[in-house]
Structure 1
């Protein structure tokens, strides 16, 4: 049994571990170059050492501690991202990798504190109790390394399992499958930049930058995706332009920032970071995310729509040409003329006239209405009935052939692509009727509201070896599958079932 529908599978995520390695290595090299430059041409914290009457060495109090700290972060990131977390995500040697992660974190905390006792020895002197000074350095090292390594682990875990987690979110399934990969990539980029900010800016100074980066990018990413996949498509359906979209987004940005203000008001006592972050968030939402989302939609989705329309038109042209070739051919005309000739010999031309009239109606339909994009379902049904009646003339002399047709008269205003249903009926007559053996065809067509239900079943008999049709498949079946996929994506269900004695087709089609 074959079931056809218009759904797509989600694309697989590309492995970017090699890219991550080279990005982190490049940043590490740049950091080392920066430290070397500062050691050669700068003074570092020398003035603070001099103010506290402490001997200052560029090598011992700046170059070695800073190089050690940067190298420690670089190596730890590589271990967590490429060694520990991949195994944890796959549940391989879980206990061992957890222990190794805890050990590298603990070692980094202690090593970071020791490095700072050289790089920030002036702070120890400023404290009345040197032990209290060591406690402060340890607390800062613990807070900074713990949060930073937590961020490393979150990033590494998301790299391994992010796509799987996003695919489980129900509301994302209703959109284009590419949205999951786009969200995955956006979150990874944000996490990378967040780690860079966390590494560059000390936890005791300039933490406002980290706070801003925690708020502004995620809100703008969500706002952009919401605009691309919901706001703009709905506005385009009502023929609204950029002006309506822009001012609507301005109002939405204000509402979002007011809501964030209410949620984060308790943190505002710690400094101006939260208000600055909200102001920058609102500015970016209006001045960056709003036009960027519009640009992406116009250049991506509308071009995709245009390409799909061109593919549809091309497919329709090819399908129509192939169909006409299969229908208007000497085989069909020869059979029709033989039928009319045999009928004329039997009686006084009454049935012959009826056959000629139906054949003329069919030919006019094929030559004129078949070129239209859509026709009324009533005309399509008339063509089906004409074809069935014409075939009954050919088979009426054989009592062993049973043709049951239950096609409802259509008095509605439904529209359908022309010549979409006839291939199934023609296939049934061509391959299901035998003048030498008992055979049958059953056809039903009915509509309920805007849904069409169409069934065709026919007997199967063994063809003679010299029958030229023995090895040929049904006329137009592949053709009609292609047309359904192009013209009714996601709006049809085609079931084709074949057994030893019967060939069965069921089509459900949404015409509304």
Structure 2
């Protein structure tokens, strides 16, 4: 919580510093007697671009989930065009570049589907920052030519290699040879982009947002700088870097997949173990119940109990091995269990068992044997044949949400009872299963005082679509 508050405060501080910088720049430029219309337009454009970055691109990059890269590339294109044409003052382009870098470093790293957008943001931010620094530091003509004309084709080739070419050939034979062959074709195709940038450099040369009375002319030296710089940069920087970056990312992804498979295997094995524990645990309870019923009454009640147990055994054998079953089946299992317990307690007037299990209107699905441990626990600890006891069980659905409550009295076990001080495996198992199968989709509250025990479970279910 504190981290979230500090992050929000830092964002607000950055926002007002940026707005203040734009306002101060506007006032200072007006004082220098530059044309008011040109100054007003350039600073308003800077303000608009910053606001788009702050209110649209930053939240898009920071939120969870896969996001379309189209709007991000459009914003980057607008900033690039505004910087290259001088519509945004050079020092204001620096502010926009820094904002892009902040957006990149605050990105949501858990969404690998957005890597193309993240890479583009970082590379364009560095390029715009380099252009701004060259102009403000009055770098020589050769450096300005290189920085203006060469990085864009480098960026485009890099993005194609990492996000288009390498993913398609990485698992094929001779991938390095394939990669080299394609890049030999792609690099020459980047030359027209470089020549276009040289043309823009010739036609629209600006310094701090104010056009100079002269322009640089494209000549053999300028073209040579662009051609040699582009070729060497592609071969020495882009091609090996793209290969290295994709290889490293792929190894990291494979390591994550291996870890997830290992954890999934452990969880699956553990889940099967938990299921195997639940079945015999319940069978012992059911047999004890039938044994007590046989001692109290005649064979008619025992037969009824055996029938209920048969229905329950059928569900356990047929459906408990499945991952999910209809909620109606699980609730029917619950009703049979409660009726079986009522046979045992029917002769005790001080025992109150109240159930309200509503009919399910939708075809909801649930993992089997999630609800029964709570009811088992209630009858195990909440019923005494010698003291007043009560159990209340309710189950209802609203939409795709199940609301399940168990409320029972508590009776201390005698000191000579072998189960005294043992909570059993049922509740612990169901807690672990809920964490494994319904992470973030359930709420379990268990409360206990000296006389009563309360369980409230809210569970988000799925339909059989």
Indicate the TM-score class for this superposition, using the shorter chain for normalisation.
0.5 to 0.7
Matches within 5 A, 1:342-491: 342-344=296-298, 349=300, 351-491=301-441
2:286/2:309 contact within 8 Å kept: no
Moved more, 220-229 or 472-481: 220-229
> Aligned pair in 2 of structure 1 residues 256, 375: CA closer, same or farther (>3 Å)?
same
d(CA) in 1 for partners of 2:257, 2:107: 16
d(CA) in 2 for partners of 1:315, 1:174: 30
d(CA) in 1 for partners of 2:291, 2:109: 62
2:381/2:410 contact within 8 Å kept: yes
Moved more, 273-282 or 390-399: 273-282
The residue number in structure 1 matching 2:257 is 302
Residues 283-311 of structure 1 deviation map (CA, whole Å, 9 limit, x = unaligned): 43333477538625741443343233212
Match for residue 231 of structure 1 among 113, 137, 161: 113
d(CA) in 2 for partners of 1:174, 1:367: 42
1:215/1:277 contact within 8 Å kept: no
Moved more, 401-410 or 221-230: 221-230
1:376/1:413 contact within 8 Å kept: yes
d(CA) in 2 for partners of 1:325, 1:363: 11
Does 1:320 pair with 2:320?
Answer: no
1:378/1:411 contact within 8 Å kept: no
TM-score (norm 1): 0.49
The residue number in structure 2 matching 1:332 is 286
The residue number in structure 2 matching 1:24 is none
2:352/2:391 contact within 8 Å kept: yes
Question: 1:426: Cα distance to partner?
Answer: 0.2
Q: Which entry has the higher C-alpha Rg, 1 or 2?
A: 1
> Aligned pair in 2 of structure 1 residues 422, 399: CA closer, same or farther (>3 Å)?
same
1:344/1:352 contact within 8 Å kept: yes
Question: 1:404: Cα distance to partner?
Answer: 1.1
2:290/2:306 contact within 8 Å kept: no
5+ long unaligned stretches in structure 2: 4-58, 66-95, 139-143, 168-245
Q: Secondary structure at the match of 1:397?
A: coil
Q: Secondary structure at the match of 1:363?
A: helix
Residues 243-297 of structure 1 deviation map (CA, whole Å, 9 limit, x = unaligned): xx9xxx49x9779878988898766755242544444444433334775386257
> Aligned pair in 2 of structure 1 residues 228, 476: CA closer, same or farther (>3 Å)?
closer
2:97/2:126 contact within 8 Å kept: no
2:324/2:366 contact within 8 Å kept: yes
Residues 20-77 of structure 1 deviation map (CA, whole Å, 9 limit, x = unaligned): xxxxxxxxxxxxxxxxxxxxxxxxxxxxxxxxxxxxxxxxxxxxxxxxxxxxxxxxxx
1:340/1:355 contact within 8 Å kept: no
Q: Secondary structure at the match of 1:399?
A: coil
Question: 1:494: Cα distance to partner?
Answer: 1.4
> Aligned pair in 2 of structure 1 residues 490, 268: CA closer, same or farther (>3 Å)?
same
Q: Secondary structure at the match of 1:328?
A: helix
d(CA) in 2 for partners of 1:356, 1:480: 26
TM-score (norm 2): 0.53
d(CA) in 1 for partners of 2:110, 2:163: 10
Matches within 5 A, 1:206-285: 222=104, 229-231=111-113, 249=116, 269=135, 271-272=144-145, 273-285=147-159
d(CA) in 2 for partners of 1:457, 1:171: 47
5+ long unaligned stretches in structure 1: 1-9, 11-168, 176-213, 233-244
Question: 1:433: Cα distance to partner?
Answer: 0.5
Does 1:502 pair with 2:452?
Answer: yes
Match for residue 287 of structure 1 among 145, 158, 161: 161
> Aligned pair in 2 of structure 1 residues 221, 315: CA closer, same or farther (>3 Å)?
farther
The residue number in structure 2 matching 1:166 is none
Q: Secondary structure at the match of 1:436?
A: coil
Residues 420-476 of structure 1 deviation map (CA, whole Å, 9 limit, x = unaligned): 110000000001101100111111111121211111111112222222222211441
1:406/1:443 contact within 8 Å kept: yes
For the aligned residue pairs, the C-alpha RMSD in angstroms reads 4.0
1:220/1:281 contact within 8 Å kept: no
> Aligned pair in 2 of structure 1 residues 267, 487: CA closer, same or farther (>3 Å)?
same
d(CA) in 2 for partners of 1:388, 1:254: 62
Structure 1 residue ranges, 4+ long, deviating more than 3 angstroms after superposition:
169-175, 218-228, 252-270, 274-286, 288-291
d(CA) in 2 for partners of 1:504, 1:439: 14
Higher RCO structure, 1 or 2 (CA under 8 Å, sep 6+): 1
Q: Secondary structure at the match of 1:371?
A: coil
